[in-house]
Amino acid sequence: MVSATTDERLASAADAKLTVTDGKAPLSKDEQLALIRVNLAEFMNPEIIEKVIDEGRHPRIYWGTATTGRPHCGYLVPGLKIGQLLAAGCHVVILLADIHAFLDNLKSSVELVEYRAKYYRWAITNMLEALGVPTEKLEFVLGSSYQKSPAYIMDVYKLASVVSEHDAKKAGAEIVKQSDNAPLSGLLYPILQVLDEEYLKVDAQFGGLDQRKLFTAAKEWLPKLGYKERAHIMNPMVPGLQGSKMSSSDPDSKIDLLDPPEVVTRKIKKAEAAPKVSEGNGLIAFTEFVLLPAASLRGGDFRVNRDRDGLEPLIYTDIAQLRADYENDVLTPQLLKPAISTALNAILAPIQAAYQASSEWQEITTKAYPAEDKKKKQKKVKGKGSRYPGAGKEGGPDGKTDGAVDTPPQ
């Protein structure tokens, strides 16, 4: 793990690659902004962050996650961005959005969400440490610690009075579960997330590109209550192993942080990866947004072994050369997949070691994600009907004829 007192600096503001040095000189404004911009899909209202830096303050940025399904390797993408934000001198707040999880995840009780919030803190902390991110600088906040306060609730009412149903649905379209007869909680979800910017006293919110509609709504809604606009920084959405969004609910699209090496290798081997096609390729995207930045964080590179062909390994420090080699068939799926498995398992190893060493984390896991209770189906005993031999005899006190059988309750 990188020491919290060690400065992480850029090799240059031009290529914005994160490296670790022993220098203690503060980053320049250009270096800070370059680190903040690394691998972003969009940066809305950057002038807000620039003004904060000009004032000599550390930009306060929050990233929130609803504590629903188990965190998977897709979380490494924001994890690395958090590391870059810290290296840029930002103060990062991680919101464990337990109330958001209850509002959005229709199958989770309040009690279950509480356990999942604890699981998320364990998983995210150890994930960041495995990436070399100094977690001592992070601030974790539980959503319910302030989202039930009278002032916050009153602001929810105020915002609900000036935001239309149409706008609330539009803002949450990409992040809230949609259905034909959706519960009212789905409309409250984006209102809460917008208000979080004010109550966490941040200068910016960080999230995925799928939250753009909500971030745009925040710019419009907060001033209606007299609150200032915030900046918004967005990561691109990294495709899953099957080309779609990496999702906790789709086991084939994601790799769990606690998946053992053989499972990781099997899932990577099964991943879709058309030869010579880099666009929309989940493996290329994962290498670009996770493995290359993770290697750079350690001052290293991403290596592809070619021993079986009697060739020297392919060594990459930037995605442009890797994409070019892939499109020219120098780097094939058969070479890339084992290299990804090796690099990813190296990242996951310390996370899994920490899990095995912590009985508390293991106990929280069983409570947060209990095994499904697979009840044995009772064999349905069918009645004989009215055509069996002896039917038509006088019924008993319960009105059923002799020999008729009640169907047991299911």
Over its length of 410 residues, how does the chain's per-residue pLDDT go in tens digits?
A: 333 332 333 333 333 343 333 345 789 999 999 999 998 999 999 999 999 999 999 999 999 999 999 999 999 999 999 999 999 999 999 999 999 998 875 667 888 999 999 999 999 999 999 999 988 889 999 999 999 999 999 999 999 999 999 999 999 888 776 666 777 888 899 999 999 999 999 999 999 999 999 999 999 999 999 999 999 999 998 887 766 555 555 566 689 999 999 999 999 999 989 999 999 899 999 999 999 999 988 888 999 999 988 999 999 999 999 999 999 999 999 999 999 999 999 999 999 999 999 999 999 999 999 986 444 445 554 444 444 344 444 433 333 333 333 333 34
Q: Which ranges in the chain are annotated with CATH 3.40.50.620?
A: 8-235
Q: Which of 104, 39, 98 is nearest to 64 (CA)?
A: 98
**pLDDT at residue number 244:** 57
> Would you state the CATH architecture of domain 8-235?
3-Layer(aba) Sandwich (3.40)
Q: Which of 233, 200, 292 is nearest to 32 (CA)?
A: 233
Tokens of 208: 């995925």
Q: Which of 228, 171, 220 is nearest to 204 (CA)?
A: 228
Q: Which ranges in the chain are annotated with CATH 1.10.240.10?
A: 261-368
C-beta of residue 43 within 8 angstroms of C-beta of residue 235: no
**What does DSSP say about strands 302-304 and 231-235: parallel, antiparallel, or unpaired?**
unpaired
- Superfamily name and number for 261-368: Tyrosyl-Transfer RNA Synthetase (1.10.240.10)
Report the C-alpha gap between 132 and 297 in whole angstroms: 7
Residues 6+ apart with CB under 8 A from 338: 265, 268, 305
Task: Give the global pTM.
Answer: 0.81
**DSSP annotation of 395:** B
Report the C-alpha gap between 111 and 122 in whole angstroms: 18
Report the C-alpha gap between 255 and 242 in whole angstroms: 11
Report the C-alpha gap between 73 and 257 in whole angstroms: 6
**pLDDT at residue number 14:** 30
